[in-house]
């Protein structure tokens, strides 16, 4: 009975299914027929349109550039498109930033890096209806070659960097086609936080930006940030070279950790293991012992700290300085602060456009500094903090909130975003730091701060092998592992000092940004290894 019932049910089901199936088939057949019809019609349309399209050689998708030919064609830069070029016929290569068709016209915004210009394809004796349609259908971010005449405009084009001219397109060829769906929209990525919220417009969160870094890097903000960063490196090199420094390259695979063993990456090195350098510290000092006198080094630095904060990366670019001095380590401080001031001045004078571009998305106050740079001693700083109601011990290190508060207090009192904090307690510094001759609790070491955040740590180093051994033992460091380092001071070593700066932090704080990932092109942190 039961069995029969079940069988009956399944038969019924089958019948129902086959009925459904039939209907489905029928529908699909109809669909296919319609599709075929449509395709045929389209093909016919295309054929007919191709036949009577007088402008068909003026547009299209170019064959892949495989270096078949050397065209004698000069491509102009968008930033050079000014009223001076009015009524000239020019060729240029650019990205399609946006396109908007409107009846017989199609407006395009063409972009090159941080510059853009408005372009127009209009039906007329140079362009056909089909050409306008083709232009309107070019996907965003595609790269095109365009021949166009430059025309002055009466009303300024506010949305473009070239406000006084527009381009009337005569030919347009797609060189590289972008896929129609972009993982993020460039307009959304440059929208300031909070703006457009009421219109329900999207902003792109940082992880999405970083996941699609190649596209995010095309935004005006990113373009400006990394052009400025390149400027920092160049100003750093130029200033130091002028001061008689020598640029050196140091190994990044090292045998012993330079600043405590906890935060180093271990790499397997044939049958043993090695570490990734936390700083070129030991090598730049050895160069000093080798009579290079003043050296600097720009290169990657690794920290295996598992801290996911706005200002920590596991790999960043270190700008390191080391120099021999005559009698007092303040000679070193002066040299470094002067270098920083030259960088700030260079940025202020030569990178105003880039600073403005970043400010549009991330508003901040202009960076302020004093000349000569303000130098505070640790005890003075503690007194300022104490006055503001902060309780902390004499030999305690500054916590991040206190560091920031101190930055605020200094800004209020001295009106500077850049200052040096000198004479740190010996206990909170690495073993190679020279103790203060007047008070053994303190040391000849210093930090530098921008907008209340640390960018540089430095000190006079111990250049006496015996004292160095003593200090290393005090810090319980295995003497065997740093033997080569200590030995280099046995055969005459000049007094010297130096410091290391994080490039990404300098850029972040100069621009008043809030996350160091914004100033790292492909950031590495405990949670991110790609792209």
Partner 1 sequence: MALRELSSLEKYLGLKKPNKYTTRGDKKIPVLQSSNGTQLVGLLTIACHLVKEAKRPELLGDSTERRALAQQWLEYRVTRLDGYSKEDVKNILQDLNLHLQDKVYLTGNQFTVADALMYYGVHPLIVDLSIQEKEQYVNVTRWFDHIQHYPGVRHHLPLVVVLRNTIYTGRHH
Q: Which of 149, 364, 469, 515 binds partner 1 (CB under 8 A)?
A: 364
Identify which range of 41-49, 277-285, 387-395, 419-427 contacts partner 1 by CB under 8 A: 387-395
Decide: is 72 part of the binding site for partner 1 (CB under 8 A).
no
Residues in the interface with partner 1 (CB under 8 A) total 15
Instruction: Transcribe 44-102 into DSSP letters.
Output: HHHHHHHHT-TTGGGEEEPPP--S------PBPPGGG-SGGGTT-EEEEEEEEEEEEEE
305 as an active site residue: the answer is yes
Q: Which of residues 7-36 bind partner 1 (CB under 8 A)?
A: none
463 as an active site residue: the answer is no
Identify which range of 23-31, 106-114, 275-283, 404-412 contacts partner 1 by CB under 8 A: 404-412
Rounded distance between C-alpha atoms, residue 142 and residue 124, angstroms: 25
Q: Which of 409, 465, 467, 521 binds partner 1 (CB under 8 A)?
A: 409
Decide: is 393 part of the binding site for partner 1 (CB under 8 A).
no
Instruction: Identify each DSSP E strand in 80-230 by its residue range.
Output: 89-102, 105-112, 115-122, 143-152, 165-176
- Smallest gap, in angstroms, from Cβ of residue 412 to partner 1? 4
Decide: is 194 part of the binding site for partner 1 (CB under 8 A).
no
Whether omega before 372 lies within 30 degrees of 0, making that bond cis, reads: yes
Decide: is 383 part of the binding site for partner 1 (CB under 8 A).
no
Identify which range of 227-235, 257-265, 282-290, 405-413 contacts partner 1 by CB under 8 A: 405-413
Decide: is 408 part of the binding site for partner 1 (CB under 8 A).
yes
CA triple 468-471-473, angle to 5 deg: 110
Q: How far is CA 447 from the centre of its chain?
A: 25
User: Of these residues, 312, 330, 375, 514, which one is catalytic?
Assistant: 312
Binding mask 432-461 for partner 1 (x = CB under 8 A): -------------------x----------
Decide: is 58 part of the binding site for partner 1 (CB under 8 A).
no
528 as an active site residue: the answer is no
Q: Which of 87, 365, 470, 487 binds partner 1 (CB under 8 A)?
A: 365
Q: What does the radius of gyration of the chain's CA atoms come to, in whole angstroms?
A: 32
User: Of these residues, 99, 222, 279, 457, which one is catalytic?
Assistant: 457
- Residue 420 and residue 406 in contact, taking contact as beta carbons nearer than 8 Å: no
454 as an active site residue: the answer is yes
Of the candidates 289, 286, 281, 226, the one whose C-alpha atom is nearest the C-alpha of residue 258 is 281
Of the candidates 455, 503, 447, 464, the one whose C-alpha atom is nearest the C-alpha of residue 333 is 447
Tokens standing for residue 243: 């001061």
Identify which range of 139-147, 152-160, 401-409, 471-479 contacts partner 1 by CB under 8 A: 401-409
Tokens standing for residue 282: 């030991």
CA-CA distances (angstroms) from residue 197 to 114, 173, 203, 220, 221?
25, 38, 9, 21, 20
Tokens standing for residue 37: 């019809």
Decide: is 280 part of the binding site for partner 1 (CB under 8 A).
no
Identify which range of 25-33, 37-45, 58-66, 398-406 contacts partner 1 by CB under 8 A: 398-406
> Cβ contacts of residue 273 below 8 Å, gap of 6+?
266, 267
Report DSSP state, residue 277: -
Beta carbon nearer to partner 1, 274 or 508:
508
Annotated active-site positions, please?
303, 305, 311-312, 454, 457, 505
Contacts with partner 1 by CB under 8 A lie at: 363-365, 387-389, 401, 404-405, 408-409, 411-412, 451, 512
């Amino acid at each position: 009975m039961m069995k029969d019932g079940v069988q009956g049910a399944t038969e019924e089901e089958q019948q129902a299914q086959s009925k459904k199936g039939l209907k489905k088939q029928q529908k699909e057949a109809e669909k296919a027929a319609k599709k075929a019809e449509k395709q045929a019609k389209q093909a016919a349309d295309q054929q007919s349109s191709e036949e009577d399209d007088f402008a068909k050689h003026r547009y299209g998708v170019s064959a892949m550039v495989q270096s078949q030919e050397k065209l004698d064609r000069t491509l102009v830069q968008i930033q050079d498109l000014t009223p001076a070029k009015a009524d000239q016929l020019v060729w240029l290569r650019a990205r399609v930033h946006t396109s908007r068709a409107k009846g017989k016209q199609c407006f395009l915004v063409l972009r090159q890096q941080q510059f853009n210009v408005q372009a127009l394809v209009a039906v007329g004796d140079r362009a056909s209806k089909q050409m306008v349609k083709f232009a309107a259908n070019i996907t965003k971010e595609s790269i095109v070659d365009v021949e166009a005449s430059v025309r002055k405009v009466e009303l300024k084009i506010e949305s473009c960097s070239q406000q006084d001219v527009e381009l009337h397109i005569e030919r347009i060829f797609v060189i590289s086609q972008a896929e129609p769906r972009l993982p993020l929209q460039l307009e959304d990525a440059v929208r300031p936080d909070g703006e457009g919220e009421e219109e329900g417009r999207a902003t792109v969160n940082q992880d999405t930006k970083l996941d699609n870094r190649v596209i995010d890097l095309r935004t005006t903000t990113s373009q400006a940030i990394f052009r400025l960063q390149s400027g920092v490196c160049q100003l750093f090199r130029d200033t130091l070279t002028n001061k008689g420094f020598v640029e050196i390259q140091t190994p990044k695979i090292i045998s012993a950790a330079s600043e405590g063993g906890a935060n180093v990456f271990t790499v397997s090195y044939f049958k043993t293991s090695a570490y990734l350098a936390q700083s070129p510290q030991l090598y730049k000092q050895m160069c000093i012992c080798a009579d290079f006198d003043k050296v600097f080094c720009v290169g990657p630095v690794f920290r295996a700290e598992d801290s996911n904060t706005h200002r920590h990366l596991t790999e960043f670019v270190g700008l390191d300085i080391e120099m021999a001095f005559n009698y007092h380590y303040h000679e070193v401080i002066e040299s470094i602060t002067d270098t920083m001031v030259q960088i700030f001045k260079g940025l202020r004078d030569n990178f105003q456009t880039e600073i403005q571009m970043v400010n549009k998305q991330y508003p901040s106050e202009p960076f302020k500094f004093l000349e000569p740079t303000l130098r505070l001693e640790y005890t003075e700083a503690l007194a300022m903090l104490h006055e503001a109601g902060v309780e902390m011990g004499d030999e305690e290190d500054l916590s991040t909130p206190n560091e920031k508060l101190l930055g605020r207090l200094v800004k209020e009192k001295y009106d500077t975003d850049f200052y040096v904090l000198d004479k740190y307690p010996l206990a909170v510094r690495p073993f190679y730091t020279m103790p203060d001759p007047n008070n053994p609790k303190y040391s000849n070491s210093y930090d530098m701060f921008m907008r209340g955040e640390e960018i540089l740590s430095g000190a006079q180093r111990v250049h006496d092998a015996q004292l160095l051994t003593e200090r290393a033992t005090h810090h319980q460091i295995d003497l065997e592992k740093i033997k080569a380092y200590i030995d280099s001071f046995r055969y005459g070593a000049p007094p010297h000092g130096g410091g290391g700066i994080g490039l990404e932090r300098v850029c972040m704080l100069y621009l008043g940004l809030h996350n160091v990932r914004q100033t790292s092109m492909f950031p590495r942190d405990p949670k991110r290894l790609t792209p």
